[in-house]
Chain A
Amino acid sequence: MATRMKLKLKTVFVLYFMVSLMGLVYALMQLGQRCDCTEHDMPKDRTISRLRGELHRLQEQMRKSEATKQPQKQPLKPTPLPIIYVITPTYARLVQKAELTRLSQTFLHVPQLHWIVVEDSPHKTPLVTDLLVKSGLTYTHLHMPTAKDRKMQEGDPSWLKPRGVEQRNEGLRWLREDRRAQPGGDNQQGVVYFADDDNTYSLQIFEEMRNTMRVSVWPVGLVGGMKYERPVVEGGKVVRFHTGWRPSRPFPLDMAGFAVSLKLVLTNAEACFDGEAPMGFLESSFLQGLVTMDELEPKADNCSKVLVWHTRTEKPKMKREEALQAQGLGSDPAVEV
């Protein structure tokens, strides 16, 4: 009995020893790792599980909306959507940052869009550089100063000299050079659109223009001294243009009223905007060599819907600012407006 007891005791002790040893080893292992034991209390756990539930719900929603959308929106695979190259000339003035900001907010909704911003400046400004970086868009930042005699002066009315000519031509030049360097040459899918920074664009217009074969056209609101200007479509073809100002122009369109396919831009390497053209003939100077009226593709429901507006932004009144600056008390120029 005694030996059995002794044995029992020994076993017990051995058992205790083994268990304690295991526990100790385990504790030692844990010491080596980072331990946030102090921070894990119930509220945090609750918030974590709530956020996790949140996350799953959001993902569910996205998956659901993805399922109802067309299958062509696959951002990871090479997408069949043609790229829209938007060429925007811009110049420094008070409202420039505001205009480019709201323009970028519109473009951010459009997939496969490449924004080509051309500044009217001898060098790239930090304002536009920072804005483009922060925008999250695919972009190209160029600059091309306008010749002094072509540049508009302070008091000039907006129609006096053509604006943005050198900048748009620079955009075209870059695009041609960049696309030439790509494999596939002239067989690339894409559309080129000239978007001024003060106009207003609905999201539908970009989907309308995406499948342009040659040159597509559509109505533009608030331009030409009228509520809208538009091409008149009969039998699916453009027969004439409905405009109140000089309808005898070859293409009485606004810059925002047409888009050209990339292929056409690349094959016609010489086509560009003519700064010497008479007022209102800027668009015609470009389109004349590219296409004839019956080849135009009408969009926006046979040119019956207005999807882009030629809005213009007022010049902000700076009377008090100028008065202050005369006294040397102007607002902090380091604050970017």
Chain B
Amino acid sequence: MPKRRDILAIVLIVLPWTLLITVWHQSAIAPLLAIRKACHHLVKEIFIIPERLAVRHHRLSDDGVERRREAGGQAQDSKEYCASDKDIVEVVRTEYVYTRPPPWSDVLPTIHIITPTYSRPVQKAELTRLANTFLHVPNLHWILVEDSQRRTPLVTRLLRETGLNYTHLNVETPRNYKLRGDTRDPRIPRGTMQRNLALRWLRETFNANSSQAGIVYFADDDNTYSLELFEEMRSTRKVSVWPVAFVGGLRYESPKVNAAGKVYGWKTVFDPHRPFAIDMAGFAINLRLILFKPQAYFKLRGVKGGYQESSLLRELVTLNDLEPKAANCTKILVWHTRTEKPVLVNEGKKGFTDPNVEI
């Protein structure tokens, strides 16, 4: 008959061992398997989705890159999981392409795109194809600023129908300067007041202390943007730069990058000694920097042609802080296209077509 003392002795002996084994089991095995399965799924589903945009390196965060490498290392073990998941991946992938816009992610920094626009015959066409591009970009917030006295129904309706995440603002550029013909007081460059209004809106809406990561990009409505560009700019820490095609009378203008990966000059013909000899479409700014320097705006008056970008950037960053993107500024990911003014001779004085039909 086992005495209580003996039982106690046995329990005391066995207990530490069982504890050791269970603790070891829990800490070593479970996360290992979990990582394997989770990585596989996450790689397949979250990482594959952006690959649909043909982006090779999708950097969610530094953790994300490591995880991908981990998962890659275990890929051969997890191949047997692949077969059954393939159908799901295919459905997810195709659904993502047709789902407009892509689902919002809590991990990706938001790209705030500031687009000034004004009424002219090609406006709806330009905004339509711009929207078609933006509908592919996850976590995009479009800030459209009209150069008008009040928001036009054309743009209001267009924005609503696209389904994009947007903010619709408007401010009218005073036209009297042009009429005055005063050479000493040149007119305000087009789009400046609108971009400044958007910057002010961002500063009023977002708190400098909030953790909401964001990138600010100025996109004109007649340029052409590749989808890769948005993924390149997402990792901007301060201000990132890249080449732009068809500006400055050249095939492309680009920053000069040295072997250390730092920008030291500008490869342009038109005034390369500007502080920032870059086009509006050639840089992106981290939202935190915008909020941190609330006095930085585009200069309204007295700005020489080509110096507008410098008027903002010199208050935010120095040449040394610029981050070159697009494979060290060797790839073209944005084109400064311009749309021809359509010939409307046959409209005549009174207008031939029904003015109620929106174009």
Q: B224 at the A/B interface (Cβ < 8 Å)?
A: yes
Q: B226 at the A/B interface (Cβ < 8 Å)?
A: yes
Q: A52 at the A/B interface (Cβ < 8 Å)?
A: yes
Interface 9-mer from B110-118, B245-253, B310-318: B245-253
Q: Mark B226-244, 1 if CB is under 8 A from A, else 0.
A: 1100000000000000010
Q: Are B121 and A222 in contact (CB under 8 A)?
A: yes
The A-contacting residues of B in range 50-82, CB under 8 angstroms, are 52-54, 60-61, 63-64, 66-67, 70, 73-74, 77
Q: B266 at the A/B interface (Cβ < 8 Å)?
A: no
Q: Are B359 and A15 in contact (CB under 8 A)?
A: no
The answer for the CA separation of A221 and B125 in the assembled complex, in Å, is: 9
Residues of chain B lying within 8 A (CB to CB) of residue A291: none
Q: A226 at the A/B interface (Cβ < 8 Å)?
A: yes
| Chain A proximity of B277: nearest CB distance (Å) | 13
Residues of chain B lying within 8 A (CB to CB) of residue A148: none
Interface 9-mer from A114-122, A180-188, A316-324: A316-324
Interface 9-mer from B6-14, B141-149, B300-308: B6-14
Q: Are B17 and A97 in contact (CB under 8 A)?
A: no
| Chain B proximity of A157: nearest CB distance (Å) | 11
| Chain B proximity of A203: nearest CB distance (Å) | 7
Q: Are A244 and B352 in contact (CB under 8 A)?
A: yes
Given contact pairs A30-B28, A311-B339, A316-B246, A228 touches B226 in the complex (Cβ within 8 A): no
Q: Are A105 and B246 in contact (CB under 8 A)?
A: no
Interface 9-mer from A58-66, A162-170, A259-267, A274-282: A58-66
Given contact pairs A12-B10, A226-B352, A108 touches B251 in the complex (Cβ within 8 A): no
Q: A44 at the A/B interface (Cβ < 8 Å)?
A: yes
Interface 9-mer from A171-179, A208-216, A302-310: A302-310
Residues of chain A lying within 8 A (CB to CB) of residue B125: 200, 221-222, 309, 311
Interface 9-mer from B34-42, B196-204, B256-264: B34-42
| Chain B proximity of A45: nearest CB distance (Å) | 7
Residue of A nearest to B107 (CB): A54
The answer for the CA separation of A304 and B345 in the assembled complex, in Å, is: 22
Q: How many residues of A are counted as interface, with CB atoms below 8 angstroms from the partner's CB atoms?
A: 92
Q: B353 at the A/B interface (Cβ < 8 Å)?
A: yes
Residues of chain B lying within 8 A (CB to CB) of residue A36: 32, 35, 70
Inter-chain contact total with CB atoms closer than 8 Å = 254
The answer for the CA separation of A16 and B20 in the assembled complex, in Å, is: 13
The B-contacting residues of A in range 7-65, CB under 8 angstroms, are 8, 11-12, 15-16, 19-20, 22-23, 26, 30, 33-37, 39-40, 43-45, 47-48, 50-52, 54-55, 57-59, 61-62, 65
Q: Are A15 and B353 in contact (CB under 8 A)?
A: no
The A-contacting residues of B in range 81-137, CB under 8 angstroms, are 87, 90-92, 94-100, 103, 105-107, 121-122, 124-126, 128-129, 132-133, 135-136
The answer for the CA separation of A50 and B267 in the assembled complex, in Å, is: 44
Interface 9-mer from B165-173, B211-219, B286-294, B329-337: B329-337
The answer for the CA separation of A200 and B128 in the assembled complex, in Å, is: 8
| Chain A proximity of B296: nearest CB distance (Å) | 30
Interface 9-mer from A84-92, A139-147, A329-337: A329-337
Residues of chain B lying within 8 A (CB to CB) of residue A26: 21
| Chain B proximity of A290: nearest CB distance (Å) | 27
Residues of chain A lying within 8 A (CB to CB) of residue B17: 16, 19-20, 23
Q: Are B344 and A227 in contact (CB under 8 A)?
A: yes
The answer for the CA separation of A229 and B96 in the assembled complex, in Å, is: 36
Q: Are B122 and A228 in contact (CB under 8 A)?
A: no
Given contact pairs A109-B98, A111-B98, A314 touches B337 in the complex (Cβ within 8 A): yes
Q: Are B14 and A59 in contact (CB under 8 A)?
A: no
Q: Are A40 and B31 in contact (CB under 8 A)?
A: yes
Q: A75 at the A/B interface (Cβ < 8 Å)?
A: yes
The B-contacting residues of A in range 238-279, CB under 8 angstroms, are 242, 244-245
Q: A94 at the A/B interface (Cβ < 8 Å)?
A: yes
Q: B182 at the A/B interface (Cβ < 8 Å)?
A: no
| Interface residue from B46, B99, B126 paired with A51 (Cβ < 8 Å) | B46
Given contact pairs A15-B10, A111-B98, A244-B352, A304 touches B245 in the complex (Cβ within 8 A): no
Q: A293 at the A/B interface (Cβ < 8 Å)?
A: no
Q: Are B32 and A221 in contact (CB under 8 A)?
A: no
Q: Are A76 and B38 in contact (CB under 8 A)?
A: no
Q: Are A335 and B28 in contact (CB under 8 A)?
A: no
Residues of chain A lying within 8 A (CB to CB) of residue B346: 224-226, 244-245
| Chain B proximity of A189: nearest CB distance (Å) | 19
Residues of chain B lying within 8 A (CB to CB) of residue A311: 122, 125-126, 339-340, 342
Give 14 A-B contacts (CB < 8 Å), ordered by A residue. Answer: A47-B63, A48-B38, A109-B135, A203-B132, A222-B125, A222-B342, A228-B357, A309-B122, A314-B340, A320-B248, A324-B269, A331-B250, A331-B267, A335-B331
9 new A-B contacts, CB < 8 A, other than A97-B332, A306-B359, are: A16-B17, A45-B31, A62-B95, A101-B226, A202-B128, A242-B353, A305-B357, A311-B340, A314-B339
